[in-house]
Structure 1
Amino acid sequence: MPRDELAAWLRLLLTPGLGRTTARQLLAAFGLPETIWARPSDSWDGVVESSLAKAMAWPPEGFDAALSAHERWLAQDNARHVITLADPRYPASLLDTADPPLMLFVHGRLDALAHPQRLAVVGSRNPTPQGAQNAAAFAQSLAASGLCIVSGLALGVDGAAHEGALRAGGVTLAVVGTGLDRVYPSRHRDLAHRIVAQGAMLSEYPLGTPPLAQNFPQRNRVIAGLSMGTLVVEAALQSGSLITARLATEQGREVFAIPGSIHSPQSRGCHALIRQGAKLVESAQDVLEELRLADPTPRTDGDPPTQACATEGELLDALGHDPVSLDALLARTGLPTSALQAQLLELELQGVVARLPGGLVQRVAQG
């Protein structure tokens, strides 16, 4: 992007008091940002209040340093991009929402933004162990079926969803609430590097933006807007994931929810969504069928691709009839952890297996 063009858009983004709605009104009235800034400030009075027009007359404090920082960031890596509302590469699904970002800062593969089938996978930052396993297993199976998995890089379900998509060799897109010159949370630094290699990191916030609390609910509208549907894995009743689901509904997108134990607070948000009309799903195939997408590699529901699995009878034999730990089952079956968890989930949903305190599982006596 030429320096003058980058400067004009960045000034629109960084001017204090100039929100996204007013900025889009200026663009609608005058055209590209270069045209806006070339006009005398009194010509903006019909679009913005006179006090704001006066404040807009000069670049904001520190603007030259911010512009130089963005130029250096772009020059360091040819996988770094700035995409504006006027750019033909701007995702059409996001452009169609009520509040599209003015600019998108991208680090990674641009084809993740152009992917025709994107699904958001979101949930609790403090999921149960089963919730984290569900997020990874669903994302892995859906990514293997060709969907781009969109999430927010947060701890818990978000991180598990990105990991699952990467494990499948699929594409994943992380929408973050900070500038792309930092990774939040910091423990996801390695995950962020792997996402850049296999998908993309995306933010509407300029470089230097810290992890401010108000940015994350705003980030959720981008996650929902990029996606054809949103899958909520686990969520408490007061949860940012429910904000994402509500925004997806408002945007006319599908919402899916995985049911859980009636005793778990982390399941109550999903149950509330189901009561409100979200699609109850028990397997990745349920999501694909609802979206009318063919699964090119049918598998046992929830079973991660390319991993060996025991038959249901063999797994039940390994379980026996007494409570057993996951480690003991791993030793008895020789299965990878993710494959065993996926098959146990299927048996649990069928009512054949129950989870017990202490991480134990047990067969349920059939009457």
Structure 2
Amino acid sequence: MDPAELHAWLRLQCTPGVGGVSARKLLRTFGLPSAVFAQPLHALEGTVSASQAQALRSEPLELAALVGTTHAWLQAEPETRRVLTLGDACYPQALLDIDDPPLLLYAIAHPTTWEQQMLGAVGHTCLAVVGSRNPSAQGAANAKQFSQALAAAGLTIVSGLALGVDGAAHEGALMGAPPGQVATIAVVGTGLDRVYPKEHRALAHRIAQGGVLISEYALGTPPLASNFPQRNRIISGLSRGTLVVEAALQSGSLITARLAAEQGRDVFAIPGSIHSTQARGCHALIKQGAKLVESTQDILEELQWQSPLTPPKSQPRAPAQPQTPAAPDSMLVRVLGAEPCGLDALQAHTGLDTPALQAELMALELAGHVTRLPGGLFQRLFAVPPAA
């Protein structure tokens, strides 16, 4: 992007009091940002409020530093980094259909993605996969396995780079996508000059090679709590549908699902145990009309997806439990079920005293046969051995 053009776009983006709606109104009226700033005060006041027009007449104090930082960031890796404006050929067309498309998108992708303008048309091949930051072992496995199979079928997986389901979805997509496909898109809530959470630094670098990292936030923007619900409209807006893997009733994933429905996109949800708080958000979505999903085929059929690739002969179904080594046979093993169970119930059914019960549960948990859930509940992660 030309330095003068970059300066004008960044000035429009960071002018105090001028949000996305007003900025787009100005662009529709006057054209490019440089033309907006060339207008006399009375012309601006005919389009936006008097206070906004006055703000547009002077450069924000932080603008010079932001332009310098952004220009240096782009020049450091010009083949992989871009700032996309609403009129850019690589700007995702799917976002132009939502009520509040970002004025600018900062993006990092493999040079091939830019050469072939793949990001511009990628929306019709995207599916969002979102869910809890603290999923159960089963929820994390579902996110990874579903994303891997869907990417193998030709879909690009969109998520938010958060811990838990988001990270598992990105991992699965990178594993499943064939060479040359945009495997996954990570929509982040910070500037692209930082990675949040820090635990996903290596994952972010891998996404930059096999997918795309995007943000509407200026470089240097920290992980502010208000940014993450705001960026969810981009996750849903990029995608034909949103799959919620696991979510509590107050989960931010439900915001993404609501936005998807408002944007006219499909909403999918994987059901779970009636005793699990992490399943209640999905159950609420299903009650509201989301499609109950048990396999990737459910999603592909609903989307009427005609894969440009050859999909796997059998799509993995949501497993009852993640695969783990066979557990030893014991009274506790047989009492533990796929449904979460508390200590009192386990003690009543096994007759074990508290120290013995806790010791055996600890051994099973360390061996990967049992997972500990919130509320003092335990859940089996293995198939019950056949009775002798």
Which band: TM-score by shorter chain? 0.7 to 0.9
Q: Retained in 1: the 8 A contact 2:90–2:119?
A: no
Per-residue deviation, residues 273-314 of structure 1 (Å, max 9, x unmatched): 00000000011111111111146334444279xxxxxxxxxx
What is the CA distance between 1:167 and its match in structure 2? 1.5
Q: Does residue 79 of the first structure (1) align with residue 93 of the second (2)?
A: no
Per-residue deviation, residues 306-338 of structure 1 (Å, max 9, x unmatched): xxxxxxxxx9x96797639699799xxxxxxxx
Per-residue deviation, residues 142-178 of structure 1 (Å, max 9, x unmatched): 0111110000000110001001111124511000011
Query: How far apart in 2 are the matches of 1:358 and 1:227?
Result: 34
- With over 3 angstroms needed to count, the CA separation of the structure-2 counterparts of 1:329 and 1:59, relative to structure 1, is closer
Query: How far apart in 2 are the matches of 1:195 and 1:165?
Result: 10
Query: How far apart in 1 are the matches of 2:184 and 2:170?
Result: 6
Name 1:155's counterpart in structure 2. 163
Q: Does residue 122 of the first structure (1) align with residue 122 of the second (2)?
A: no
What is the CA distance between 1:52 and its match in structure 2? 2.1
What is the CA distance between 1:87 and its match in structure 2? 1.3
1:212 maps to which of 196, 201, 224:
224
Query: How far apart in 2 are the matches of 1:299 and 1:53?
Result: 60
How many residues align structurally?
A: 333
Query: How far apart in 2 are the matches of 1:103 and 1:37?
Result: 17
Per-residue deviation, residues 115-153 of structure 1 (Å, max 9, x unmatched): 240000000111111111110010011011111000000
Name 2:311's counterpart in structure 1. 297
Q: Retained in 1: the 8 A contact 2:233–2:259?
A: yes
Any gaps of 5 or more consecutive residues in structure 2? 335-363, 370-376
- With over 3 angstroms needed to count, the CA separation of the structure-2 counterparts of 1:98 and 1:329, relative to structure 1, is closer
Query: How far apart in 1 are the matches of 2:34 and 2:385?
Result: 68
Name 2:373's counterpart in structure 1. none
For the aligned residue pairs, the C-alpha RMSD in angstroms reads 2.7
Query: Per the alignment, in what secondary structure is the counterpart of residue 114 of structure 1?
Result: helix
Q: Retained in 1: the 8 A contact 2:84–2:90?
A: yes
Q: Retained in 1: the 8 A contact 2:89–2:120?
A: no
1:167-206 alignment runs, 5 A limit? 167-170=175-178, 171-206=183-218
Query: Per the alignment, in what secondary structure is the counterpart of residue 108 of structure 2?
Result: strand
Query: How far apart in 2 are the matches of 1:208 and 1:230?
Result: 29
Query: How far apart in 2 are the matches of 1:250 and 1:177?
Result: 21
Query: How far apart in 1 are the matches of 2:177 and 2:311?
Result: 14
Name 2:378's counterpart in structure 1. 357
Relative to structure 2, which stretch is displaced further, 320-329 or 112-121? Answer: 320-329
Q: Give the partner amino acid of 2:190.
A: T
Query: How far apart in 2 are the matches of 1:287 and 1:163?
Result: 19
**The structure with more radius of gyration:** 2
Q: Give the partner amino acid of 2:284.
A: A
Q: Retained in 2: the 8 A contact 1:151–1:161?
A: yes
Relative to structure 2, which stretch is displaced further, 195-204 or 85-94? Answer: 85-94
Name 2:66's counterpart in structure 1. 66
Return the TM-score normalized by structure 1. 0.84
1:301-316 alignment runs, 5 A limit? 301-302=315-316
Per-residue deviation, residues 18-43 of structure 1 (Å, max 9, x unmatched): 11011111111111111101112232
Query: Per the alignment, in what secondary structure is the counterpart of residue 357 of structure 1?
Result: strand
Q: Retained in 2: the 8 A contact 1:228–1:253?
A: yes
What is the CA distance between 1:47 and its match in structure 2? 1.8
- With over 3 angstroms needed to count, the CA separation of the structure-2 counterparts of 1:318 and 1:153, relative to structure 1, is closer
Return the TM-score normalized by structure 2. 0.80
Q: Retained in 2: the 8 A contact 1:107–1:201?
A: yes
Q: Retained in 2: the 8 A contact 1:326–1:359?
A: no
1:138 maps to which of 135, 141, 146:
146
Per-residue deviation, residues 82-116 of structure 1 (Å, max 9, x unmatched): 11011122211110111100011101133245324
Q: Give the partner amino acid of 1:276.
A: Q
Q: Retained in 2: the 8 A contact 1:153–1:162?
A: yes
Q: Does residue 252 of the first structure (1) align with residue 264 of the second (2)?
A: yes
Query: How far apart in 2 are the matches of 1:96 and 1:8?
Result: 24
Query: How far apart in 2 are the matches of 1:216 and 1:287?
Result: 26
Query: How far apart in 2 are the matches of 1:318 and 1:175?
Result: 39
Query: How far apart in 2 are the matches of 1:360 and 1:162?
Result: 23
Query: How far apart in 1 are the matches of 2:366 and 2:152?
Result: 27
- With over 3 angstroms needed to count, the CA separation of the structure-2 counterparts of 1:293 and 1:364, relative to structure 1, is farther
Query: Per the alignment, in what secondary structure is the counterpart of residue 237 of structure 2?
Result: helix
- With over 3 angstroms needed to count, the CA separation of the structure-2 counterparts of 1:298 and 1:230, relative to structure 1, is same
Query: How far apart in 2 are the matches of 1:20 and 1:152?
Result: 21
Q: Give the partner amino acid of 2:173.
A: A
